[in-house]
């Protein structure tokens, strides 16, 4: 264990906080949503391709945020966007949301609050936390990230939800306002993410960057984000390896 | 251990989160600031009544926030208010802040980030956390509360600083915006505090309330807040006793 914090070659600063993209990087949203959607379908006595349901729901995520990023819609939490998208996804899979109770829909929407961590996440975060501040840097709202942390056992020091920065990645303010809340320069903050476009935006905002490979995020047929596509500061096959690279 | 969460008689709701005033309730600011001020004076080769210095610095806290609460000044973080007040306190104790380096002053100002917990705090919070969301509900800014948590080992689930609600207790929005960030009704949130006026304001905002006795917060001569002065939902001699009363 080295005594100095890791110094980012790209920012020239010692890293003080390592913040993580969550959906896909820390938690396995596809398995988690599919499992809960399958349980929902079983309760309704219906068949469902649960993995396709999870993929379809996730596919509506970026377009829903885009209206907010471009300013055509006021900031709205991810919980609300997920809830709106749920109606569409249910219809596509043969369910009529109008005939389901509000509580059932709300419960299904909370699937995103109860996602399993990747097997290495909790131990890796605990290791990094010994020497660095750790937290999410996610498009999730605070209550979603809080429930996720309690259910998955994620040892965050601090949770800064997108409802606190009131913007969505990859807009620069999402990264910059998060760094400002913890009173660090952007260059003292590292984003760790499984998505090259997120890392690109973080780098443009002045953050240090680490790629974490999650080749099963989209299931066995995944074709994107299998490897780092930029000269990110660090690249690791999981969070414990990132801990090693950071000297934690 | 009962299976039901505690139901507040005053709000009629089951409590989901127990949020704590920090300065005085969870951490011993007087001992912590005095110790760091004494070290500063020793480095300068000077005598200092360190407890009086801590008391004087703390005494400027409420007047500094009042300009913001009344709207005559824009929201400014507690770190900035502490830093402004530090100049005054230094002069009162015979130091010229103009002759001290910016780094020395900044370091002394960070005394508020490194305060010792009361001896029962960490174990009590860990117990409550097993069944309830725990966090601060403090006038401190996020980075201050984050540093405090890391240095004192406070096991918070979530930190919502006053720079996120952009207001100061005892204004109602300080309590209400905090509850909103964690997606709970005010009645599902309990404020635990050593100060009756804080509990009164929390009750008026619709929160559940618990008094924690901290008769040494202001040293051996303390005369206020020795006992509960309202019919708060709960009253305890420390955080572990509060955990017991909550069935945690």
Tens of pLDDT, residue by residue, chain A (248 residues): 457 999 999 999 999 999 999 999 999 999 999 999 999 999 999 999 999 999 999 999 999 999 999 999 999 999 999 999 999 999 999 999 999 999 999 999 999 999 999 999 999 999 999 999 999 999 999 999 999 999 999 999 999 999 999 999 999 999 999 999 999 999 999 999 999 999 999 999 999 999 999 999 999 999 999 999 999 999 999 999 999 999 99
Cα angle vertex B156, ends B150, B161, to 5°? 85
Q: Contact A77/A141 with Cβ under 8 angstroms?
A: yes
Instruction: State the average pLDDT for chain B.
Output: 97
- Cβ–Cβ contact A160 with B under 8 A: yes
Instruction: Measure the CA angle with vertex A26, ends A23 and A28; round to 5°.
Output: 60
Please report residues of B whose CB lies closer than 8 A to that of A79: 183
Exposed, middle or buried, B96 (CB in 10 Å: 0-12/13-18/19+)?
A: exposed
Q: Which of A18, A22, A216 is CA-nearest to residue A115?
A: A22
Mean pLDDT for B109-135 is 98
ipTM above 0.85 for this complex: yes
Architecture of domain B29-113: Orthogonal Bundle (1.10)
> A133 to chain B: which residues are within 8 Å by CB?
146, 150
- Please state the three-class secondary structure of chain B as a single string: CCCCCCECCCCCCECCEEEECCECCCECHHHHHHHHHHHHHHHCCCCCCHHHHHHHHHHCHHHHHHHHHCCCCCCCCHHHHHHHHHHHHHHHCCCCHHHCCHHHHHHHHHHHHCCCECCCHHHHHHHHHCCCEEEECCCCCHHHHHHHHHHHCCCCCCCCCHHHHCCCCCCHHHHHHHHHHCCCCHHHEEEEECCHHHHHHHHHCCCEEEEECCCCCCCCCCCCCCCCCCCCCEEECCHHHHHHHCCC
Instruction: Output the pLDDT for position B198.
Output: 98
Selected for mutation to probe chain B from A146, A153, A185, A189 (highest B CB count within 10 Å) is: A146
User: Could you read off the pLDDT of B43-74 as tens digits, one per residue?
Assistant: 999 999 999 999 999 999 999 999 999 999 99
Length of chain B: 248
DSSP code at position A115: -
**Alpha-carbon gap: B48 to the closest alpha carbon of chain A (Å):** 30
Interface check for A28 against chain B (CB to CB < 8 A): the answer is no
Nearest CA in chain A to B135: A158
Provide, as residue numbers in chain A, all residues whose Cβ is less than 8 Å from the Cβ of B132.
none
Is B146–A157 a contact, with Cβ atoms under 8 angstroms apart?
Answer: yes
What is the nearest CA distance from B228 to chain A, expressed in angstroms? 32
Pairs of residues, one from chain A and one from chain B, whose beta carbons lie less than 8 Å apart: 48
Residues of A in contact with B158 (CB under 8 A): 142, 146, 149, 159
Q: Spell out which residues of chain A touch residue B159, defining contact as CB-CB under 8 Å.
A: 158-159
Cα(A56)–Cα(A53) distance, integer angstroms = 5
Mapped onto helix, strand or coil, the DSSP state of residue A185 is coil
Does position B16 have pLDDT exceeding 70, yes or no? Answer: yes
Query: B245, B248, B235, B170: which is closest to B209 by C-alpha?
Result: B235
Is residue B190 within 8 Å of residue B18, measured between CB atoms? yes
- Asked if B79 is an interface residue toward chain A (Cβ–Cβ < 8 A), one would say yes
Closest chain A residue to the Cα of B143, Cα to Cα? A182
Asked if residue B91 has pLDDT above 80, the reply is: yes
Q: Shortest CA distance to A30 belongs to which of A193, A218, A212, A225?
A: A218
The answer to whether A134 faces chain B, any CB pair under 8 Å, is no
- Report the C-alpha gap between A65 and B128 in whole angstroms: 36
Partners of B183 on chain A (C-beta within 8 Å) are: 79, 141-143
Contact B146 A158 (CB under 8 A): yes
**In CATH, what is the architecture of B17-28+115-245?**
3-Layer(aba) Sandwich (3.40)
Out of B149, B160, B182, the one facing A157 most closely (by C-beta) is B149
- Interface check for B163 against chain A (CB to CB < 8 A): the answer is yes
| Per-residue confidence (pLDDT) for residue B2, from 0 to 100 | 54
Domain extent listing, chain B? 17-28+115-245, 29-113
Nearest CA in chain B to A183: B143
Evaluate whether B208 touches B191 at the Cβ level (below 8 Å): yes
| Neighboring chain A residues of B181 at a CB cutoff of 8 Å | 142-143, 161, 163-164
Strand arrangement, sheet containing B208-212: B133-136, B17-20, B189-193, B208-212, B234-236
Of A31, A79, A36, the C-alpha closest to A55 is A31
Selected residue of B17, B159, B177, B188 to mutate for chain A interface (largest A Cβ count, 10 A): B159
> Residue A35 in contact with residue A48, Cβ under 8 Å?
no
Nearest to B205 by CA among B149, B167, B150: B167
> How many whole angstroms separate alpha carbon B237 and alpha carbon B248?
16
Tell me whether A149 touches chain B (CB under 8 Å): yes
| Contact (CB, 8 A) for B128 and B248 | yes
Shortest CB distance from B157 goes to which of A133, A141, A150? Answer: A150
Cα B107 to the center of its chain, rounded Å: 20
Identity of the residue in A79, A142, A181 whose CB atom sits nearest the CB atom of B182: A142
List pLDDT tens digits, range B162-183.
999 999 999 999 999 999 999 9
Name which CATH class applies to A30-113: mainly alpha
Nearest CA in chain A to B79: A183
Chain-chain contact of B158 with A181 (C-beta, under 8 angstroms):
no
- Name the residue among A143, A149, A181 with its Cβ closest to that of B183: A143
DSSP state of A8: P
pLDDT at B44: 96
- C-beta separation of A19 from A212 below 8 A: no
User: Nearest Cβ partner of B157 from A149, A161, A163?
Assistant: A149
Write down the residue that tokens 């951490």 correspond to. Answer: B27
């Amino acid at each position: 264990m080295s005594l100095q914090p890791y110094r980012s070659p790209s920012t020239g600063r010692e890293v003080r906080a390592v913040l993580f993209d969550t959906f896909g990087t820390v938690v396995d949203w596809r398995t988690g949503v599919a499992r809960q959607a399958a349980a929902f379908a079983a309760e309704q006595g219906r068949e469902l391709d649960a993995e396709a349901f999870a993929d379809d729901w996730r596919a509506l995520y970026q377009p829903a945020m885009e209206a907010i990023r471009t300013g055509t819609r006021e900031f709205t939490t991810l919980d609300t966007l997920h809830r709106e998208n749920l109606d569409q996804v249910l219809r596509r899979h043969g369910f009529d949301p109008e005939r389901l109770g509000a509580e059932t829909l709300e419960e299904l929407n909370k699937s995103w609050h109860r996602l399993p961590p990747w097997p290495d996440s909790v131990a890796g975060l605990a290791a990094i936390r010994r020497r660095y501040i750790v937290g999410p840097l996610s498009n999730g709202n605070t209550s979603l990230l809080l429930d996720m942390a309690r259910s998955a056992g994620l040892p965050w020091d601090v949770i800064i939800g997108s409802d606190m920065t009131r913007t969505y990645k990859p807009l620069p303010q999402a990264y910059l306002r998060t760094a400002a809340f913890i009173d660090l320069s952007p260059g003292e903050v590292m984003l760790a993410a499984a998505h090259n476009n997120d890392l690109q935006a973080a780098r443009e905002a002045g953050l240090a960057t680490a790629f974490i490979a999650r080749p099963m995020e989209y299931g066995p047929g995944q074709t994107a984000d299998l490897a780092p596509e930029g000269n990110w500061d660090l690249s690791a096959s999981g969070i414990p390896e990132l801990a090693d690279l950071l000297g934690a």
